[in-house]
Structure 1
Amino acid sequence: MRTWGGKRLVIGAVSVLMILVAGSPAAVVADDDEAPVARVYVAAPPAPLNQTPEQAAAKSAGCVSCHSPVDAASMHASPAVVLGCVDCHGGDASAMAPAGASREAPEYSAVRDRAHVLPRYPGSWHFPSSANPERTYTLLNREAPEFIRFVNPGDYRVARQSCGNCHMELIERAERSLMATGAMFFGGASYNNGILPYKNYIIGEAYTPEGEPARLLSPGTPPGTVTLDEQRRGALPVLYPIPTWQVTPPGDIFRVFERGGRNIATQFPEIGLPSPTGQIQRLEEPGRPDFRQSSRGPGTGLRIAVPVLNIHKTRLNDPYTWFMGTNDQPGDYRSSGCTSCHVVYANDREPRHSLGYSQFGRDGQTATADPTINREESGHPIRHAFSRAIPTSQCMNCHMHQPNMFLNSYLGYTMWDYESDAPTMWPERQRYPTAEEIREVLDRNPEGAAPRGNWADLDFLRAVNDLNPTLRDTQFADYHGHGWNFRGVFKRDREGNLLDADGAIVSPDDPERWRREGEGQFVPPGTNPGRTVHMMDIHAEKGLQCADCHFSQDSHGSGLIMGEVAAAVEIGCKDCHGTSRTLPTLRTSGPAAPPEGTDLTLLRNSDGQRRFEWIERDNRRVLIQRSIVDPTLEWEVDLVRDAVDRDSPEFNPAAARAKLMSVSRPGQASFSWGPGVATTDLAHDDEEMACYSCHTSWTPSCGGCHLPVEANWQAESHRAEGGTTRNYATYNPQVARDDMFQLGRHGTARGGVIAPARSSSALVLSSTNINRERIYVQQPPISAVGFSSQAFAPHFPHTVRRTETKTCTDCHVSEAEDNNAIMAQLLMLGTNTVNFVGMHAWVGLESGIEAVRVTEWDEPQAVFGSYLQRYAYPDFFAQHVERNGRELINWTRGEAFDPEAGGSGDTRSVEEIAKTLQGTGGEARCLQLRGEY
């Protein structure tokens, strides 16, 4: 193995990954569509640590002859940073714009091409446009490092040269951060789905400057080792590249993945040298399945791990920061590497999500002073400048997806359920998209339902928030990462009624339920609009952005490789709010904090003001925090000790009772509470229970995501060397809920404290082979240790509220004995309310079993005759109601050739909807679905 730049980034790791490889790839990787242009590149020297202003000016002379005026001469706000353009970007600063030439003139283009570093793949970059192209993914791994540095000096492949003389430590940290490696997602997915047996994860994403998959080592002595203390706090010694899907054996126990009988031909086409025909030995082995996916071993043919295929080819929470954002819809505009965060793009018009950046819209358009940049073109940063004032809307590029913490909840949103305000979101006439139309939508939005909905149209999608005044059931966000829609979560009682801030029912016909008279489409920070209560985190409502709590280390990492987000956070609630006994120390105390904690009193914002400061106000000492994004915005921090102090104007009796309640002792007739209760006797001690166990207002949960792989779809891989191969799976959240609340215990890194838990990995898998046969349908995989793949994990929902918190009977038996189901759910014992029937309802009979078809196969998988089918499939709904009288019968629908689509065979295809009966020798008393096709 060889190291990259001596910085402990090692490529290869073939010997370790051999345990994952069985057989040869399932398909030959196709050539890229565009052939590279042969160029001779001149490597620019690293950006200097210091130089004179005159030297820097000489390195910008030719650049500013076109790009003038500029937003920031060095992209840095501080005038102490003295850099020329080519120090960071490379290129030729001696090339001067020809006097009087227009930008369309040949002589102008010639000088531009001499000044700029040119790409290997000009078509893919839409050269000479400087906008980020849509969905580049692995283009960065194929492109020349010199050109990558030219278009984005902050990309990790080149940041050592362009940024390393000043920021090398931060670069090395960022490369190992979870935002770059994705270790929690890749490791969790591989363990929960039976791919790898390691709960201490070993795979992640990293690349060399040449775009080769790389091995990452934690900076121990020697590199690749961690101490016992670091290990207990969640650090990992090493991460290996993610194996490709074509050679990864299935972890699933589905029978279709077994070898099959000797006489059974594979359902997968033989490519190259075929396997023996079996003419020599015709003896059949008993008990084998009657068809199979490969004549060879695991990891060949279709005997591959579908979740790994999904990781490589389906747009899940990728791209991580080794790649650019997809730059194709609001919420997806950003660059790669350091620039992913530190150069801000326009993604969201909501001020509470973006503060001052909201004025620039949500279409990735620029407000630069540079006259060469097209202001109407999407894919440009707002300004050509670095910033530490990073808005939440930039974070939501990645953190809007379940395995990336799903922080829509911070803003009061969750996944849309396809039913709320369905008449607005689905077309009046059922849509029958062609294969080409489906592919076009799925390239930017992996949910299989999207091609049938109105949001398949990008113009409709970007304007969904504009529809809010007309909606009856919910309100939608203004960002659409992955092309998804996010619905608002509002305060409700257990019967589902909307409530106002005082707990009174708000009529669904109240014209002011979403906006009071005079309130605009977007409201300023500190406002919760309308009579209802939008359940965004109280910090977000006040205008705090993610960067107001998560400072440098939380964003860049500590330098150690971490496998889970909870272990990588250094901030804690008590660091700013204190406890019932103590004032805040203003030193970080989370699992990733340094030994003495980071001193928050030393932090200063870009304008030089202290971020945290104790001041005198109204004859009392208060703690204020100043916004990192908006220098005019500051907040008085609520202190827990004030809430339990009877002499404080902030005293809250309910909070005092909850925080100072004693534990129950044997023989104790009643509970005691108050300042006299010893810390060791507190029922809700913060050393035993996370603050947000009670202060959480709601918890997002996902009870099932359907991944139906189709052999006849070809798709490009989003990782490593890329390439196009057959097989593709859509990604379909099916049970997204906001009304579930469960408690569990955190892992060792968090000290085992009690915290909210949620379902966050709950796959069901289906497969359609090359003959369009459904060989297994909606089967849950099995985890590496043989348990259910339905994984529950402790989780900080980021839905903290002051009033809409958990109360006693959310976690304790009610005196009225009316919360048994609530308690069963809380303790994860199950309530039988979140059931997944599937495409067939299986029925046991006196002398057989019957599979009754009850849903659509296509996404969304609406139940026949349901509200969702009525709007997503109006033609099919009408046929079920009018033709079949709502009865589940055997029938056939569709046409072989669609006359409304020019005789197409892929729009209204013939589908047989049948009930299947299998006889048995006696009464069927128990059914277990195990992937038996």
Structure 2
Amino acid sequence: MKSLVSKFALIAIFASMFSFSTVFGAEHSKGMMEMEPVSGGDSCIKCHKGIESIRDTKSDMMQQIIAMGQGLGDSAGCVVCHGGNPEDGTVKGAHKGAPAAHAGGLAEFVRDPGSMWIADKTCGICHADTVENTMKSLMMTEAGKIQGNMHSWGTYNTKKVQYANYDVKDKDGKTPAWGTKVYKDYMIKMIDKYPNQFPTELKQLPLPPSGPEDFAGKSEDEIAAMASITYQRSDCQRCHIGVRGRKGRGDWRGMGCSACHIPYGNEGIYEGKDPTINKKENGHLLVHMIQGTREAKVKTPSGMEFSGIHPETCNSCHNRGKRIGVSYVGLMEQPYGSPLNVGGKSQSKHHGKRYKHIKEDLHFEAGMTCQDCHTSVDMHGDGTLFGTTLGQVEIECSDCHGTNDKYPWELKIGFGENFKIKTSNKARGMAEELPYWMTQGTVYDKQGGYLLSTRGNPLGNVVKVENKEKVIVHLASGKDLEVPLLKYKAKTNTYKSKDAHVAMGEIKAHMENLECYSCHSDWAPQCYGCHVKVDYTPGKSQIDWIASGSSNFKNGETSESILGTKGKKLFGKPSETRSYLRWEDPILGINGENLVTPVIPGCQVTFTVIGPDGKTLILNKQARVDDNGQNVAGTDMSPVQPHTSGRKARSCESCHSNPKALGYGIQDGQFLQKQGEDLYMDLQDLRTGKYVPKNKTVQMKGIPGMDYDWSQIVTRDGKQLQTVGTHWPDSRPLDQGMRERMEKTGLCMGCHQNMSNDEIWGKLNTDKKLDMNEHIKKMHEIAKKAAKATK
């Protein structure tokens, strides 16, 4: 292993990691901590004596930072990223302006150099392409989230991606800025095929209503559209990296580059040695060190050490929507505070919610962080304007594991995706070297070659062992793991169960038509029925995260980023509740790649709007939208990779004998069939069904047009009830023919209807009670005898 870092890349990484929500921890809306002045210049290190070095002082990165800092009168190099005046010994003077010779042209002192609004002058000194790509990436635009939600509300009845958090254009054409030639060719074909999912320009999401006057003369559809934007801007957009986001337990983070590369504990308490930071105040980084690569060790004064970006950092954002972050570590939110804490207190809220532990993803159990699978393109983008994660994420399970009959390097480009993009039938092979943008961190020895993603980029941490049928993945945490190769297991007959051989080796359709995680996802969070109320009565208000990010200043701050500030407020306050929660046996459908995938509730929105005068303007309404040629409820069931993989796949019966898996609803949709009616709870004349009291109250208000369970997406005769995916044209319920072929409910009846027939059953039965394996063996014997008799 060796580190190849360009001369100035180190400086930019340093800049991106500094998050002075912490270094100047006393800086908040009430002002900075008063400190005694110092004299003689070099004031940064004199005041912040004891602060952790952002990297090991012996590293090339830190040596270069120090060298640049010394040229600017700062022995620690703080001004390289933060600006300021190291010659001034006062708190106010030192945190003002920037050296005239600053390499990035910085003119102001900046608290958080990672902020996207200042990163071109800090991180961009050396990582200009990374900053530019990230500005167009989904973590900044959130274009897919916006489009999906607007579609669910019926605001924009189209799968074309049109809006983002901020105006942005793809000015350099459709050829990606990053990527190998193979990757770029593949992506150009993909962009040409799906122009609605790869916009060339995105406009900022329109403004919400600003006051009661905006409701005058508006139709119900227009009011619903305004409410959808209010909801989107306040409840959904807090996670984009243009803002610091919600300030609370589990959500503390920096902005922009710092959102990922600076470690924050979930309590937001600083545990380092900088004397200027309040160690009892929430909202500060854990220690003043970078997290990112295997070589960038984070060390605490208590003696703890780690490397890589822990999933808990990712989870400061990835805890809503598809909830893949918290699911990955085994958590699912619940409405209960149990089990109780000491003193009988309720469980503490985390990300504003309470959780139950279900089961970790096997990759997390093995010590893998998100970055061990997800590439730099997955995170920062490649310079393309992506509309959805399916467009930006380049990896597939088979990229590392291969298939039963092919090793990863024997697969063709595009395998694992079913976009029907024409590629060479030749084996994809492996890469012998990494492109420059993959060398600005830990670079691992290639050994027998770097494996490639399905789209043709090297996986820099996944290598084939030279002259062996063996693959090693190098984890950012410091571990090295051997990757299970399916072909090797098939060749050596080392599957742990015969089920695996049958499912992947005998039934070819599984490998051709299914995502691997269709079977290997142990569970998936299923939050059925999203009931949204948007209340516009006087005094109701909430943060507008897009407006707050748009209010950004020369020092990189936004109107909400400093501790104690609340950001820009909007008119109206949304709130949410739900119908019920499940986690077991997720539904199956077809994703945008035209492959079978788990499907979970996305935004199953039923909305209610309270007007400025307190009157109910809309009650329990579901939008109607076009999907797969049918007019259906806009309540969305979303194709998903749940990130809950387990070694033991779901059983055959959990799909083939389970109506829910096929899309027919829990227990074949026989429950919750009266949701469209007003339901009362009171004394009845049971002969007529009439209620006896004149004074009665509706217990459950009906949802017009809803006479089915939230978990049902299609009827047995093919009528689609809800949307399945709001982005890609191929996403849909399982096809009619597929459902009919899959369903094997009642197979037991084929044999057991004959149990009372001595002529048949007497010749098959034994006195022994058969367990499952013996039962399977018996059926196998019967099949062989039947085949022999037929001959």
TM-score, normalization: structure 1?
Answer: 0.55
| DSSP-derived class of the 1:654 partner | helix
Paired residues for 1:455-474 under 5 Å:
461=348
Q: For residue 82 of structure 2, what is the amino acid of its counterpart? A: H
1:320 to 229, 235, 240: 240
Q: For residue 83 of structure 2, what is the amino acid of its counterpart? A: G
Deviations 1:627-683 (A, max 9, x none): 202x2x2322211113222x3555643211211114xxxxxxxxxxxxxxxxxxx22
State how far apart, in whole Å, the 1-side matches of 2:246 and 2:360 are: 27
State how far apart, in whole Å, the 1-side matches of 2:168 and 2:444 are: 41
State how far apart, in whole Å, the 2-side matches of 1:327 and 1:60 are: 35
Change (3 A) 1:221 1:333: closer
Q: For residue 661 of structure 1, what is the amino acid of its counterpart? A: E
Q: CA-atom RMSD, angstroms? A: 4.3
| Residues 317 and 398, structure 1, Cα contact 8 Å, conserved in 2 | no
| DSSP-derived class of the 1:344 partner | coil
Q: For residue 545 of structure 1, what is the amino acid of its counterpart? A: T
- Provide the residue aligned with 1:216 in structure 2: 169
| DSSP-derived class of the 1:550 partner | coil
2:191 to 230, 236, 251: 230
| DSSP-derived class of the 2:525 partner | strand
More helix by share: 2
Deviations 1:481-509 (A, max 9, x none): 1x1112122xxxxxxxxxxxxxxxxxxxx
1:69 is the counterpart of 2:69: no
Change (3 A) 1:732 1:164: same
- Provide the residue aligned with 2:526 in structure 1: 701
1:543 is the counterpart of 2:391: no
- Provide the residue aligned with 2:542 in structure 1: 715
1:187 to 125, 141, 147: 147
2:472 to 593, 606, 624: 624
Report the Cα offset of residue 715 of structure 1.
3.1
Report the Cα offset of residue 367 of structure 1.
2.7
5+ unaligned residues in a row in structure 1: which ranges?
A: 1-33, 38-58, 97-110, 120-144, 207-213, 248-267, 272-292, 348-362, 429-453, 463-479, 490-534, 663-681, 813-818, 843-850, 855-863, 866-886, 892-911, 919-925
- Provide the residue aligned with 1:243 in structure 2: 206
State how far apart, in whole Å, the 1-side matches of 2:338 and 2:670 are: 23
Q: For residue 69 of structure 1, what is the amino acid of its counterpart? A: G
| Residues 411 and 536, structure 1, Cα contact 8 Å, conserved in 2 | yes
1:730 to 559, 575, 584: 575
State how far apart, in whole Å, the 1-side matches of 2:568 and 2:175 are: 36
Paired residues for 1:114-125 under 5 Å:
114-117=93-96
- Provide the residue aligned with 2:270 in structure 1: 366
State how far apart, in whole Å, the 2-side matches of 1:117 and 1:215 are: 31
State how far apart, in whole Å, the 2-side matches of 1:755 and 1:916 are: 34
Report the Cα offset of residue 65 of structure 1.
1.8
Deviations 1:833-879 (A, max 9, x none): 563866xx83xxxxxxxx4446xxxxxxxxx99xxxxxxxxxxxxxx
Change (3 A) 1:427 1:775: farther
State how far apart, in whole Å, the 1-side matches of 2:64 and 2:671 are: 57
Change (3 A) 1:790 1:928: closer
1:572 to 396, 408, 411: 396
State how far apart, in whole Å, the 2-side matches of 1:600 and 1:339 are: 32
Change (3 A) 1:75 1:323: farther
Report the Cα offset of residue 156 of structure 1.
0.8
Q: For residue 415 of structure 1, what is the amino acid of its counterpart? A: E
State how far apart, in whole Å, the 2-side matches of 1:400 and 1:598 are: 35
Change (3 A) 1:769 1:165: closer
5+ unaligned residues in a row in structure 2: which ranges?
A: 1-27, 32-39, 70-77, 99-105, 178-183, 293-307, 446-460, 552-566, 684-690, 708-791
State how far apart, in whole Å, the 1-side matches of 2:493 and 2:536 are: 67
| Residues 614 and 622, structure 1, Cα contact 8 Å, conserved in 2 | yes
- Provide the residue aligned with 1:157 in structure 2: 117
| DSSP-derived class of the 1:198 partner | coil
1:657 to 502, 526, 549: 502
- Provide the residue aligned with 1:136 in structure 2: none
Paired residues for 1:322-341 under 5 Å:
322-329=242-249, 331-341=250-260
State how far apart, in whole Å, the 2-side matches of 1:917 and 1:624 are: 57
| Residues 175 and 384, structure 2, Cα contact 8 Å, conserved in 1 | no
Q: For residue 166 of structure 1, what is the amino acid of its counterpart? A: C
- Provide the residue aligned with 2:357 in structure 1: 488
Report the Cα offset of residue 392 of structure 1.
0.4
Deviations 1:427-485 (A, max 9, x none): 99xxxxxxxxxxxxxxxxxxxxxxxxx76xxxx525xxxxxxxxxxxxxxxxx11x111
| DSSP-derived class of the 1:487 partner | strand
- Provide the residue aligned with 1:638 in structure 2: 484
- Provide the residue aligned with 1:768 in structure 2: 610
| Residues 623 and 633, structure 2, Cα contact 8 Å, conserved in 1 | yes
- Provide the residue aligned with 2:126 in structure 1: 166
Change (3 A) 1:68 1:889: farther
State how far apart, in whole Å, the 2-side matches of 1:586 and 1:731 are: 49
Q: For residue 88 of structure 2, what is the amino acid of its counterpart? A: A
| DSSP-derived class of the 1:560 partner | coil
Q: Which shifted more, 71-80 or 542-551?
A: 71-80
Q: For residue 717 of structure 1, what is the amino acid of its counterpart? A: D
Q: For residue 230 of structure 2, what is the amino acid of its counterpart? A: L
Q: For residue 736 of structure 1, what is the amino acid of its counterpart? A: L
State how far apart, in whole Å, the 1-side matches of 2:170 and 2:607 are: 34
State how far apart, in whole Å, the 2-side matches of 1:609 and 1:597 are: 18
- Provide the residue aligned with 2:157 in structure 1: 197
- Provide the residue aligned with 1:807 in structure 2: 651
Report the Cα offset of residue 788 of structure 1.
0.8
- Provide the residue aligned with 1:306 in structure 2: 227
| Residues 208 and 570, structure 2, Cα contact 8 Å, conserved in 1 | no
Q: For residue 232 of structure 1, what is the amino acid of its counterpart? A: K
2:509 to 661, 664, 683: 683
- Provide the residue aligned with 1:832 in structure 2: 669
- Provide the residue aligned with 1:398 in structure 2: 317
Change (3 A) 1:763 1:834: farther
Report the Cα offset of residue 700 of structure 1.
2.2
Paired residues for 1:745-894 under 5 Å:
745-747=590-592, 750=593, 752-783=594-625, 786-803=631-648, 805-812=649-656, 819=657, 822-823=658-659, 825-828=661-664, 831-832=668-669, 835=672, 842=677, 851-853=678-680
State how far apart, in whole Å, the 2-side matches of 1:227 and 1:203 are: 22
| DSSP-derived class of the 1:708 partner | strand
Change (3 A) 1:916 1:649: closer
Report the Cα offset of residue 599 of structure 1.
4.4
Q: For residue 809 of structure 1, what is the amino acid of its counterpart? A: E
Q: Which shifted more, 767-776 or 786-795?
A: 767-776
1:295 to 204, 210, 217: 217
State how far apart, in whole Å, the 1-side matches of 2:201 and 2:374 are: 25
Paired residues for 1:354-433 under 5 Å:
363-388=267-292, 389-403=308-322, 405-418=323-336, 421=338, 424=340
Report the Cα offset of residue 574 of structure 1.
1.4
Change (3 A) 1:382 1:605: farther
Report the Cα offset of residue 554 of structure 1.
1.1
How many residues get paired? 572
| Residues 56 and 62, structure 2, Cα contact 8 Å, conserved in 1 | no
| DSSP-derived class of the 2:619 partner | strand
1:741 is the counterpart of 2:645: no
Report the Cα offset of residue 417 of structure 1.
4.1
